[in-house]
Structure 1
Amino acid sequence: MRGWLKATIGLAVLSGLLLGADRIAVGVAEDEAADRIVKSGRMSQRPDVSIEGFPFLTQVLSMKLDDVRISSDGLAVGDGSHQVALHSFKARLAGVKVSDSMSSATVDSGTGSGVISYPDLAQLLPPASQLLHGAKLPVGGNSRLSLAYAGPGKVKASLGPIEIGEGSVRNKGNTVTVDGFRLSSLAGLVAGATNQQLEPMSFTLDSLPAGLKLADKEGGGGGVTPLPEGLQLTFDGKDVKLLG
């Protein structure tokens, strides 16, 4: 009986030590991964990294991490000319294969999301002078649209006192298009606009976080969703190069 008790206590102590060592190792690896991701240029600022699964040391021996979560707020994204903030970015990376020195890493598959505020979204669209050619604008030519949520799949826009109605947002790959805005007859008359229908407005995002891209369902779309707080971007990717 005493031998059994001693063995049980010894096993419990050993398990505790192994668990402690595993958690220390995963914490060190998470910090190192966060530093390397930002140094690689895959993200504009240091993210929070969480390596899921237990035991971590077993995953290290196989050089493949089953489930890695990364998150950050206020990441810089843009179209090459303008940069805006991506808020509440979260991603889940599955099957992360790392080199022995952690100098390179590839991801079997990844998904994520983040939100661009409507004022920031407007900065990625053309200025007023390019939207209503020949119109008498009540604002400066460099002014931007005021955008807001207008219900599922819709955004509404105005330019100073001129209401431009509702439009839709879609994507094809990393190119986002805002379309469907049209001046009312009265607004067109006030502005002196000869064409009440606005042309589609597009921009292409580059250097998206963690090497992911905008989700693109068959037939287009799936990567952008208007929400009350802003435009939600949905990301995915396969065989993504995370480091190196």
Structure 2
Amino acid sequence: MTEEHPYQGERPQRQRGRRVLVVLLILLLVLIGLLVTADRVAAGMAERVLADQVRTEIAQQNVEAGPPEVEIGGFPFVTQVLDGRYKRISIGLREVRGSVQGDVLALPTLDIDAHDVTASLDTLRSGQGEVVAGSVTGTGTVSYDSLAARLDQEGLRLGERDGKLVVTAPVDILGERLPVTGTADLKVDQGRVALRFTNLTAEGMPSGPLARVLLNNFAQGISVDVPLPELPFDLTVREVRPLPEGLQVTAEAAEVPINAAG
């Protein structure tokens, strides 16, 4: 007669229990994956609706730009929909142009972050109704070429060095064409960027007060107030800062409708 080991019956039960646990974990992961996918699909649909409305809004403000790219931040999206409140909505605009006194200043990029946004489910579903942001910040870049064109000086070039706006230009001083370099002080005033060029130097400049007067006159001639293009969403420029790729413009606004229906 064969003696039965007391643990032989427990091993198959443990193995079955482990298999059941593994199956449940797999099902849970699949369910989570489906929920995340559904959440992202719903967010994508809402982003497309908002992108269409933003396109209409900026067109009404006579601002030209490429197709807006909209991203709704925060996860999960569904809980924000139910609450009708969104932490952040990012809007990316490219090749932004606005008419300024007959000229056109270009912003290759304008990145807008809308915070504390309210929008009902019906608004996102139908595209009708208000989408209002508690606060909006925008960061754009004015190309140095477009700024240099405004100064209207042959051979003048602008750039950035050590956090300063730098100018280089050939200048006629006492019959000699000399390379001039210098930096500019920047200030924002009522939608305009005040450029005040200081500390200009000319390599090989003749000595004497007349040469210095001519150099100072050139500095005054290129020290101008540059009007910026009208920005969407009532954005008001607060700061300008030179970067290697262009002059960065930072703007702000509060309690702003970000869709045409608003």
TM-score of the superposed pair, with normalisation by structure 2: 0.69
Pair 1:22–1:158, CA change in 2 (3 A): same
Q: Which residue of 2 aligns with 1:34?
A: 51
Q: Which amino acid aligns with 2:246?
A: G
Q: Which residue of 2 aligns with 1:176?
A: 193
Q: Which residue of 2 aligns with 1:224?
A: 240
Q: Which residue of 1 aligns with 2:115?
A: 94
Distance 2:185 2:200 in 1: 15
* Conserved 8 A contact 1:146-1:159: no
Distance 2:170 2:133 in 1: 43
Distance 1:8 1:89 in 2: 45
Q: Identity percentage over the alignment?
A: 29
Report how far residue 192 of structure 1 moved.
9.3
Q: Does residue 58 of the first structure (1) align with residue 68 of the second (2)?
A: no
Report how far residue 191 of structure 1 moved.
11
Report how far residue 26 of structure 1 moved.
0.5
Q: Does residue 122 of the first structure (1) align with residue 148 of the second (2)?
A: yes
Gaps (5+ residues) in structure 1?
129-142, 216-222
Q: Does residue 45 of the first structure (1) align with residue 55 of the second (2)?
A: no
Q: Which has more radius of gyration?
A: 2
Report how far residue 206 of structure 1 moved.
3.6
* Conserved 8 A contact 1:116-1:230: yes
Report how far residue 194 of structure 1 moved.
9.4
Pair 1:53–1:224, CA change in 2 (3 A): same
Q: Which residue of 2 aligns with 1:106?
A: 132
Return the structure number with greater helix share. 2
TM-score of the superposed pair, with normalisation by structure 1: 0.73
Secondary structure in structure 1 of the residue aligned to 2:220: coil
Report how far residue 124 of structure 1 moved.
3.4
Report how far residue 158 of structure 1 moved.
1.9
Report how far residue 237 of structure 1 moved.
2.1
* Conserved 8 A contact 1:79-1:124: no
Secondary structure in structure 2 of the residue aligned to 1:73: strand
Pair 1:6–1:66, CA change in 2 (3 A): same
* Number of aligned residues: 222
Gaps (5+ residues) in structure 2?
1-16, 172-176
Q: Does residue 152 of the first structure (1) align with residue 163 of the second (2)?
A: yes
Distance 1:150 1:14 in 2: 54
